[in-house]
Structure 1
């Protein structure tokens, strides 16, 4: 026979209504009482009837996660599992579940978002990217559902809650680091420039180059989708074959860095003696690469954690002001940069 709310109330010496308020995390119940009742619930093996709670509270206790690409492609990038780890930690603490979009194209993902909102399948949404002319954020604004963007929104920043790094400053810091090591021929490699994070890091690269009066040729700006393919490999190989090839490369993600390292090995160009590399995100790729990579640590876990925290705050208080949370980015020095 299953344990009921009345059974828990009797054992905890409280009323059934108090148990119900503990389940709904009501601010009318003290934290001391919540802990005591939850302990009794755990000891008695009481499980919340989620379907009943949805009907009573009109809440799904679920956060939707809008992926940048299809789930398979996104999760191949070690940045995103770490981001989801941060999101999951806060959602688990606040007893929210996570629902990922799984569409195989931008159109399919947008259709899924509309179904999540119109079907009231989630209480709030986290969009884990910011992209120019993307239809998702304008739709969410119009729908009125609580949502948070990871990345600086391209429009309507005052109306949107978001969590981000100062990517312009991070791009500047990465470039300054190489310049201070004596490098003047520097190449920037990034993802699709339609994404705001790429634009910002590239802007930081330009700011530092202008400050030190470096003339960066157009061929030292490489951008392509975040996947390993022949076009990307050919572009990198062509760059390495030029007479005035760069002495250092800034890679906006570890996935691109892997392509660079592969191309360098094929050309028998040694890191860091013949080519220095600084990358972003400080994922496991940076730590386990040979040599280990100097990286801009954007504190990915914290980005996810703060995004989840912010959207849950917004769900509970829809009228709150739309704040922005900026997570510091720091340089982690390793062995992939040499001084000239």
Structure 2
């Protein structure tokens, strides 16, 4: 029997070639009826895809890159990155893709890395974490028409860029409002202004205060960079201002803040309430367990990879932008349990 093509399978099943490709690649967002119809035709015809021929014909490598514009120390010590990488890896494993990781420490190193990616042609597309406001290499990717999806809201060219983000404004609003509902009025914040996520969480904090007619107090605002030590130092700066609660813009910084409070003899939540952001695994193990905003980090990574593959397969027209909801997880650190 002559070997059938994907186009012939599509004709027999009465669907598009792209739909057959999605069924073969195990994409989740296909109706059960369509999936069963395509799988029935595949079984009846004994169709087997020639992966080597498919890659040669499509000029694809089946390799996607994950670009993290942070130092290696942050990548391997911040629990956020393993969580998001797990989501991307899950999608890659389900779809016979290889994931390449690119980490760099400076703008010059980053530009050299991006140049090598663009000239070597080894990856089909990129997922990029929005770790900083000035993603200096994104214009190069656009110029060279390299498909990419940003994890987080990009600071520039937002209307032209595909991204997956979570509702950082809404999440921070929920966290701050939770503290307000508990009766706290002198609420400090450990903010972060290095990327759009930090900016949006600060906006959510301000929105909640405004709703309760509370003026912003500059003395109750301290900045970190999402690292443990910066959370420690920022909390130390807030302690003399005697806040009765602190919203910390990441769990990692909140863990540093808890350490700072312990060192000066303040107990959580009796002396001061704390709410974090992310709901990373260490939040449950903290002393006391951390009230925090749970954002779907792993799901974000998986969805970013899925959107990138949809763009590569010409099933999604960029820019494609998704904002996922968050959830407030109440534990002992806020004093509500």
TM range (shorter): 0.7 to 0.9
Aligned match of 1:112: 113
Matches within 5 A, 1:212-291: 212-229=212-229, 233-240=232-239, 242=240, 244-291=241-288
Task: Identify the residue that residue 322 of structure 1 maps to in structure 2.
Answer: 319
Q: Which range moves more in the overlay, 296-305 or 148-157? A: 148-157
How far apart, CA to CA, are the structure 1 residues paired with 2:300 and 2:104? 23
Relative to structure 1, the CA distance from residue 100 to residue 159 in structure 2 (aligned partners, 3 Å threshold; closer, same or farther) is same
Alpha-carbon distance in structure 2 between the residues aligned to 1:66 and 1:236: 31
Residues in 1 aligned to 2:219 and 2:8: alpha-carbon distance in whole angstroms: 62
My pick for the range that moved more, 147-156 or 131-140, is 131-140
Counterpart contact for 1:101–1:113, Cα < 8 Å? no
Residue 90 of structure 2 is matched in structure 1 by 89
Q: Deviations over 1:177-213 (max 9, x none)?
A: 110111111111133x130000001011111112212
Does 2:309 align with 1:312? yes
Match of 1:128 in 2: 129
Instruction: Indicate how the Cα distance of structure 1 residues 34 and 94 shifts in structure 2: closer, same or farther if over 3 A, else same.
Output: farther
Q: Is the 8 A contact 2:176 2:247 kept in 1?
A: yes
8 Å CA contact 1:101–1:109 kept in 2: the answer is: no
Is the contact made by 2:231 and 2:252 (CA closer than 8 Å) also made in structure 1? Answer: no
Deviation for aligned residue 1:33:
5.6
CA contact (8 A) 1:130 1:149 kept: no
Q: SS at the partner of 2:20?
A: coil
Q: Which runs of no fewer than 5 residues in structure 1 stay unpaired?
A: 1-13, 42-46
Q: CA deviation at 1:104?
A: 2.8
- Tell me: CA distance 1:124–1:31, structure 2 relative to 1, closer, same or farther (3 Å): farther
> Could you say what secondary structure the match of 2:209 adopts?
helix
C-alpha displacement of 1:21: 9.8
Residue in structure 2 matched with residue 195 of structure 1 by the alignment: 195
CA contact (8 A) 1:84 1:304 kept: yes
Residues 123 and 185 (structure 1), Cα distance of their counterparts in 2 relative to 1, 3 Å cut: same
CA distance in structure 1 between the aligned counterparts of 2:315 and 2:146, rounded to whole angstroms:
9
Paired residue secondary structure (1:112): helix
- 1:276: Cα distance to partner? 0.8
**Following TM superposition, by how much is the alpha carbon of 1:111 offset from its aligned partner in structure 2, in angstroms?**
2.1
Q: Which ranges in structure 2 are unaligned for 5 or more consecutive residues?
A: 10-16, 25-37
Q: CA RMSD, aligned part only? A: 2.9
Please tell me whether residue 146 in structure 1 is matched to residue 132 in structure 2. no
What are the equivalent positions in structure 2 for 1:169-180 lying under 5 Å apart? 169-180=170-181
- Structural mapping, 1:74-85, within 5 Å: 74-85=75-86
- Report the Cα offset of residue 48 of structure 1: 6.0
Q: CA deviation at 1:315?
A: 0.8
CA shift for structure 1 position 279: 0.8
Residue 58 of structure 1 corresponds to: 59
TM-score by length of 1: 0.83
Question: Is the Cα contact below 8 Å between 1:19 and 1:37 reproduced in 2?
Answer: no
Q: Is the 8 A contact 2:72 2:103 kept in 1?
A: yes
Task: Give the stretch that moved more between structures: 318-327 or 213-222.
Answer: 318-327
Matched, 1:338 2:335: yes
Match of 2:158 in 1: 157
Q: Aligned equivalents of 1:116 and 1:38: distance in 2?
A: 38
Give, in angstroms, the shift of residue 26 of structure 1: 8.3
- Matched length: 314
- Does structure 1 retain, via aligned residues, the 8 Å contact 2:69–2:103? no
